[in-house]
Structure 1
């Protein structure tokens, strides 16, 4: 039977320490010698030169092992600015173990940390929404549907909160300022799909305690009285005590337990202390009796009772005097979201023996002040970080083993006497040459150990994983090596042949990433599938993505559930986005996760209305990739179907990722000028630059490079918008009626229930531009959707859309008229090579332009189908919404009109797919066809 208590673990230390055991290495070395040369070498005494050399090599290995066995902080220490560089190499406990608030306890820690807040609690803000289950036109409203012929249901919006605050009695704090600070801190730490509606002072339920207490003869009655009142008050509404780092360590807590939760300013708050300070639902007489009896000086309780404080005519009274909670002599029930406090009408009488004891009120006040001061002093702590282990830097330098042999070997730094024979000198040189091989191997190992801190880091400048270092200190080394001046370069060439930088760098980065229990396998496989493993730039992209991920891991791990702050003054062209968006961007290789314009007019389908005598009125289409001043690529022909133009454009966007598809061509006119063209995989011309010709090949090549750079920037300018549906809820006006036209309301087929009709709670809309190089690929879309659903908090439902803008035009001509049309503007019934159109001679100053002959037979209009610009509408509506919502004057709520525009824009979104074709089983040449695959293709046209 499987024992669930047994776990298979990987040991943290797998070293056998053999590299530090000289005797083990010597025995192993001699064993190898015996196996290899037992027929010719039979004497293995310690004076044998071969044994001496072997022992020296064993010593060198133990030296290397000893250096490897140093503490890690020593291996990665730096000679200068060690503190700063160590913090760059590693994340400190405060930065890597903490996280943004997630639970209610986390938020309470955050707000109790504010000066002037004694305690606080999160309460669900009840906001009912009513639904009318009309299957044709379902509606929701803040007002009940009266006399509706349809089934109606009511549900509460989820994710809205009220914060109840128990303010400190200190007069130095202004409640309005504290509330403003709470709002600020909340929105800096807001969770996805949640919002704060209000911050209010908690209502109090005053509990009266009446008791007669027998004291010990030697008891200080004033101190006992102050202590009883303090202890009972702490039972009813306890303060939360902060701890210093030392106190947390003394409690026996581990570092991950100490730094659990958000970063604070005034010490550490434990979850156990906060749980004990939750709002009480009951006050028990037995608990109060137990508290009083534990106080030093109390002998016994002769009589005691509790009840709700009776009402009194006092407008300044903090107590709620309309308490309906049930109570009895032994138990008082506390109203929901009320804080029990000790009533000022409570009475305590004391006796010593049979004699009653009077109290000195001034002395009682002094003891009470002392207790309050001690409690406040506990809050004057700091949120310190664990000290970063700072290693001791020592230069890792290899010295040749040759200097450690006895001097009579003749290869030490002193060399041989000048009187010895030439034969003796030659033998010494032979020994030097023989040992140089071992020297070089050891020197290379030492060099790798020297670079260990670079290899185990997210260093974007790292260009190699194998390192070489020439052997120093050998006298006469130039006579040992052929072509000594190129010695270093020759050895580095050998190292380069061993180097597979991409593979080894990926393995090292995967090791670092695995320490955070993260993987990049899916991303890597998707990129290989999309672009090919051997294509230039793919491996560099993967390595760069992993480097960025590691560098920003402290932020994307702690902020993974964080929403953006909609109260900040700058809401566009900003990195003020959710932690989820940052994490998704870094996991998927998006270079820029800022909120910015994702739509541009550079990629488009132009619609032309044609009118000819022979064919009458019809439409034709062409695709364009252009800037404000220049068309970089345009279709080689015009299409009768918009879908045909879109299909070719999507194919062109894929071709454009490979700069080899961009070529230079010459016109067929006598000027023989150059222009930039785009070829497909078969070498067929599919797009080109019109009206831009170059007199020399050098100028044309410069234009080709500019076109490649411009189009690459377009294709990889990736990003996405994430809209939290809860932010569009107009709870401040409670007017939702006309928004129903734009809300995605759904009910079941039988109209039996619409309980799931809620369009606001825990839902996000994620919008991608579906036309970029990667986003138009179905495999990458599947990867992104799986990644989003895996990384998004489980209680949040995403709606993912891949929208486009490539089925509209750019301009509108109000009146139909006959105009001069250039090559890029002409509509031709049959596809022809555009360069066959006669080119007029132009002057040198006009070499970047061409004037084409007038063609008056075509009457056309460029149509602007603005409604088709899904991404344009979304971008515009989302930006207007954010600009409106950040306004303090409106209470940080967007106007009703702008909210409706955003909701309508979201509701009109459509995911775009490339259309597919059915596969003919008899046609083996289907490699380039877009085949229909179940759940991955769209049938028909856009």
Structure 2
């Protein structure tokens, strides 16, 4: 049976330190020598030159081992700007362990950190709605359906909050300014599918305490009285004390416990302190007695009682709520919900010393009270410090040849040999230098790799190699030892280059860095390999770029994974002000740009050509295009009689167009022999080319080919999506739905359905343009949908739509002119952007005689297209919400957005049936249950 208490861990120290043990290395080296050359070499004494060289190499290995054994901060330290570069290499505790607010305690920390806020609490904002269970015409409303013949039900909108604030009365702050600061802070840290409706001063319930206290003879009655009032007030409505980093460490807390929650400005707040300062539901007399008895100078309590403070005389105004309905008794007072108990100014405290009553000097009481308040304020003036980042000590890692450490009589030191020695002696020295150069090169390469540790263990997008070569330096006459010394210096065609498998090794290193955050990219990697092939460099480059960017921005996408966008900022379009969830999904799926921007384009489309001949009559042919506003970059080599065949080829083309190896430059048959760009399929056949774009020279054609690939690559990966929180479309300030219900997806089947009646709470609509290269692929859609459901907070329900088809937007043909008995012969009319799911009819007036060709005009009805419609409605809604009163969008913009959202349809490519045993991967658009839309004949 699996033992759940056993955990597989990676040991922190994997070194056996054999590289630091000179004797172990020497013994192992001598053993190798004996095994290899025992028939030729029998003298293993210390004076033998071979043993001397082996010992020197063992010493060099220990030197390398000592450098490897340095603390990691030393290995990654930089010579210049070490502090800045160390913080780029590693995430500090303050940046990687904190997160945006998630829980109520997190939000309380955030708001208590604002000057002028003594304490605050989050309360659920109650907003009931009513549903009329009319199956034919379901309705919801903010008001009950009086006298309805149908069953009615009620439900509460979830995710709306009210913040109750206990203002610091001693501070000179304007309450309106504090409320505005709370709203600003909240919307900078708003969670998905949640919103703040109001911020208001907490209602107070005044508690009167009457007590007679016997004091010690040496007690200071003014100090005792000030302390009793302060401590009782703290019991009823406690202040939250901030801590410094040192104080948090002294509590024995670990770094992840210290930095749990949001980044603050005025010290650290512990969850325990916040839990103790929650709004009380009851006040016990026994607790107050216990508080008083613990104060120095108190001997005993002769008499004490508590009750609700009676109404003021002559109906004087006050903060205390006098309409108390909670039940109480002499020992316990129940506190009204969302009320703060405070000490009533009608409370009385009488003191005795022995049998004599003691009077109080109120000026001295005020002085002692000021001291207690000053002590509390001092406790709040802390800073939110970061744990110090180890800086390390930089030391240049440079290999120095071992040859200089041999005795000088070997003749290969930096001083060399005397000019008087024989040529034979000089040649022998050169031979020894060449022999030892092999060992020098191995050690130099190891040292070079150690020097680049900080580069390998970083998200460096400019890194182009994982093996590093370093030519050996310092050897006299090294240029005479090598056949081509410059070639050796530049590592041209060196063995170190032949070992390099950059993509594989770089992916392994990045996976190691990602695994340190308990993240994996296996699903994304496998999906990309499946769609585009493992052998393509562009796929590998995309995966490496995606991993690099993920690591670089991990502190943001980790801490903001549940964060919503801030709809109060002035810029709402062409901005990176999107939800943290959206950023995380983008970086996990290789989306280059997660900003909110225009996503609709019709630059990849199917062109419909109308042919009208006497022999065949009117028929249509189809051609795929990749274009910009003013240029067609590629077009199909042939026209197709079936639109789906054109689409199928276009899907295959999109897998080939970003690889330069799939292009050839062809020459025209004209005398000028101009060049044009052609695209080849896997079998080498031309399937696409540039029409009407010819280039005089091959160099110009190559430049234009590079431009074409760059444009198409940018076009294919110009991906994004819209995330719309349904709660934002609810007019909870005006409470007027009006005809918004006409656009809501209500499903109130007798109110007995398993589906929720609430179309707003904790629901998001996620909209993808379904016509891009990856988004049109069913396998990538499956990956994205699984990723979204895994990463989205569990309490939020997503609706995922893949809007549009690669065929483009919806258009229609309008016959505007008929021409008879004319010499005009128009044989082709381009009809672009015809939605694949729509049947397009061309109405021909059969009663009239026509010539070979009729003229048709293209009328673009792209306004009816889902993707463009949702983009327009979403943009208008955000603009209206930013400018509206209380940041509430107008009724018209809300209606347009809701209608656009709930009229969308997910478009799938035409599916094919196939044998379940057919696993050759050719059927890319398989019909899958619940994932394919089946049409009608």
Normalised TM-score (structure 1):
0.91
Residue 282 in 1 paired to residue 282 in 2? yes
Q: Secondary structure at the match of 1:63?
A: helix
2:726 alignment partner in structure 1: 725
Shift of the 10–674 alpha-carbon distance from structure 1 to 2, 3 Å rule, reads: closer
Aligned twin of 2:416: 415
Report the 3-state secondary structure (helix = DSSP H, G, I; strand = E; otherwise coil) of the residue aligned with 1:891.
helix
Report the counterpart of residue 886 of structure 1 in structure 2: 882
- Aligned to 2:816, what secondary structure does the other structure show? coil
Is the Cα contact below 8 Å between 2:609 and 2:830 reproduced in 1? no
- Aligned residue for 2:885, secondary structure, equals coil
Residue number in structure 2 paired with 1:905? 900
SS at match of 2:900: helix
Displacement after TM superposition at 1:537 (Å): 1.0
Per-residue deviation, residues 318-355 of structure 1 (Å, max 9, x unmatched): 00010101110000111000000000000000000000
Deviations, residues 411-461 of structure 1 (Å, cap 9, x unaligned)? 222333444444433333332222221111111111111111111111111
Q: Identify the residue that residue 787 of structure 1 maps to in structure 2.
A: 787
1:858 aligns with 2:854: yes
Q: Contact 1:155/1:755 (CA < 8 Å) preserved in 2?
A: no
Deviation digits for residues 342-400 of structure 1 (CA, Å, limit 9, x no counterpart): 00000000000000000001100111011011101111111111111111111111111
Deviation string for 1:485-518 (max 9, x for gaps)?
Answer: 3332357621100111111111111111111111
| Cα distance in 2 between the residues matched to 1:922 and 1:508 | 38
Q: What is the alpha-carbon distance in structure 2 between the residues aligned to residue 499 and residue 919 of structure 1?
A: 42
> In the alignment, what sits opposite 1:448?
449
**1:661 and 1:474, CA in 2 relative to 1: closer, same or farther beyond 3 A?**
closer
- What displacement does 1:55 show? 1.4
What is aligned with 1:262? Answer: 262
Could you say what secondary structure the match of 1:166 adopts?
strand
Counterpart Cα distance in 2 of 1:766 and 1:503: 34
Q: Distance in 2 between matches of 1:270 and 1:510?
A: 35
**What is the distance in 2 between the residues matched to 1:55 and 1:666?**
67
Q: CA deviation at 1:91?
A: 0.9
Q: 1:281-326: CA deviations, max 9, x gaps? A: 1100000000000000000000000000001145530000101011
Matched residue, 2:836: none
What residue ranges of structure 1 are gaps of 5+ in the alignment? 829-854
SS of match in other structure, 2:494:
helix
The SS at the match of 1:882 is helix
Contact in 2 for aligned 1:605/1:623 (Cα 8 Å): yes
The residue number in structure 1 matching 2:848 is: none
CA separation of 1:636 and 1:280: change in aligned 2, threshold 3 A:
same
Deviates more, 1:475-484 or 1:63-72: 475-484
Q: Are 1:939 and 2:934 counterparts?
A: yes
Q: 1:133–1:151: 8 Å Cα contact kept in structure 2?
A: yes
Aligned to 1:840: none
Q: Residues of 2 paired with 1:53 and 1:606: CA distance?
A: 77
DSSP 3-state at the match of 1:815: strand
Question: Which residue number in structure 1 is paired with residue 835 of structure 2?
Answer: none
The within-5 A match list for 1:63-102 is: 63-102=63-102
Measured against aligned partners, the alpha-carbon deviations of 1:25-65 in whole angstroms (never above 9, x if no partner) come to: 12222222232233333333322222222211111111101
Measure how far apart 1:21 and its partner are: 1.2
| Structure 1 residue 3: Cα displacement | 4.6
1:300 alignment partner, SS class? strand
Q: Give the Cα separation in 1 of the matches to 2:415 and 2:304.
A: 99
Asked if 2 retains the 8 angstrom alpha-carbon contact of 1:101 and 1:107, the reply is yes
- CA 420–699 in structure 1, closer or farther in 2 if over 3 Å, else same: closer
SS across alignment from 2:336: coil
Query: Helix, strand or coil: the match of 1:537?
Result: helix
Cα 1:672/1:415, change in 2 over 3 Å: closer
Of the structure 1 ranges 184-193 and 773-782, higher mean CA displacement relative to structure 2 is found in: 773-782
Deviation at 1:910, TM superposition (A): 1.0
Which of 164-173 and 613-622 deviates more?
613-622
Q: Which stretch shows the higher mean deviation, 87-96 or 931-940? A: 931-940
Are the equivalent residues in 1 in contact too, given 2:572–2:878 (CA < 8 A)? yes
Inter-CA distance 668–401: structure 2 relative to 1 (3 Å threshold): closer
Residue pairs, 1:294-693, within 5 angstroms:
294-312=294-312, 313-489=314-490, 493-605=494-606, 623-634=624-635, 646-659=647-660, 678=679, 680-681=681-682, 689=690, 692=693
1: CA distance between counterparts of 2:689 and 2:879? 41
In the alignment, does 2:820 pair up with 1:825? no
Corresponding residue SS for 2:901: helix
Q: 378-387 or 345-354, which moves further after superposition?
A: 378-387
1:804 and 1:411 map into 2 onto residues whose CA distance is 75
| Distance in 2 separating the partners of 1:391 and 1:924 | 55
C-alpha contact 1:621 1:641 (8 A) present in aligned 2: yes
Q: Counterpart of 2:235?
A: 235
Residue 23 of structure 1 aligns with which residue?
Answer: 23
* CA–CA separation in structure 2 for the residues paired with 1:530 and 1:536: 14
Deviation at 1:908, TM superposition (A): 1.1
Residues 425, 613 of structure 1: alpha-carbon distance in 2 compared, 3 angstrom cutoff: closer
Are the counterparts in 2 of residues 634 and 690 from structure 1 also a CA contact under 8 Å? yes
Which consecutive residues of structure 2, in runs of 5 or more, have no partner in the other structure?
A: 833-850
Most deviating of 184-193 and 921-930: 921-930
Question: Structure 2 CA distance, aligned partners of 1:823 and 1:672?
Answer: 29
Which residue is equivalent to 1:914?
Answer: 909
Task: Tell me, in whole angstroms, the C-alpha distance in 2 between the residues paired with 1:288 and 1:598.
Answer: 64
Equivalent residue, structure 2, for 1:39: 39
Residue 416 of structure 2 aligns to a residue whose secondary structure is coil
Residue 885 to residue 827, structure 1, CA distance change in 2 (3 Å): closer
Residue equivalent to 2:745:
744
Displacement of 1:745 in angstroms is 1.8
Instruction: Deviation per CA, 1:209-249: give whole Å up to 9, x if none.
Output: 00000000000000000000000000000000011111111
Contact 1:567 1:886 in 2 (8 A): yes
**Match of 1:119, SS?**
strand
Local SS of the residue matching 1:224: helix
For 1:118 and 1:448, the matched residues in 2 are separated by 56
Alignment of 1:186-225 (within 5 A): 186-225=186-225
Q: Which moved more, 1:672-681 or 1:584-593?
A: 672-681
Residues 510-539 of structure 1: per-residue CA shift (max 9 Å, x gap): 111111111111111111111111113111
SS at match of 1:378: helix
1:560-615 per-position Cα deviation (integer Å, ceiling 9, x unaligned): 11100001000000000011111111111111110000002323445678888888
Q: Cα gap change, 1:658/1:938 in structure 2, threshold over 3 Å: closer, same or farther?
A: farther
Secondary structure in 1 matching 2:570: coil
Bigger CA drift: 165-174 or 276-285?
165-174
Counterpart CA distance in 2 for 1:92 and 1:922 is 53
763-772 or 797-806, which deviates more: 797-806
Question: What's the secondary structure of 1:381's corresponding residue?
Answer: coil
Change (3 A) 1:426 1:637: closer
Residues 1:161 and 1:436: Cα distance change in structure 2 (over 3 Å): same
CA distance in 1, matches of 2:263, 2:16: 41
The answer as to whether partners of 1:607 and 1:864 remain within 8 angstroms in 2 is: no
CA displacement at 1:276 relative to structure 2: 0.7
Q: Match of 1:846?
A: none
Q: CA deviation at 1:640?
A: 6.8
Distance in 2 between the 1:665 and 1:491 partners?
34
Distance in 1 (CA, whole Å) between partners of 2:676 and 2:178 is: 67
Residue of structure 2 in register with 1:762 after alignment: 762
Aligned residues: 914
1:896 aligns with 2:891: yes
Taking a change above 3 Å as real, the CA distance of residues 591 and 2 of structure 1, as seen in their structure-2 partners, is closer
Q: In 1, are the aligned partners of 2:153 and 2:751 still within 8 Å (CA)?
A: no
Q: SS where residue 114 of structure 1 aligns?
A: coil
Alpha carbons of structure 1 residues 276 and 910: separation in structure 2 relative to 1, 3 Å: same
Distance 2:128 2:715 in 1: 46
| Partner Cα separation in structure 1 for residue 634 and residue 486 of structure 2 | 53
After TM superposition, the structure 1 stretch with the greater mean CA deviation from structure 2, 133-142 or 666-675, is 666-675
Q: 1:82 to 1:722 in 2, by over 3 A?
A: same
Q: Give the 3-state SS of the residue equivalent to 2:537 in structure 1.
A: coil
Say whether residues 1:869 and 2:870 are aligned partners: no
**Alignment match, 2:161:** 161
User: Cα 1:481–1:693, aligned 2, differ >3 Å: closer, same or farther?
Assistant: closer
Distance in 2, Cα, partners of 1:684 & 1:426: 62
CA shift in 2, pair 1:868/1:681, >3 Å: farther
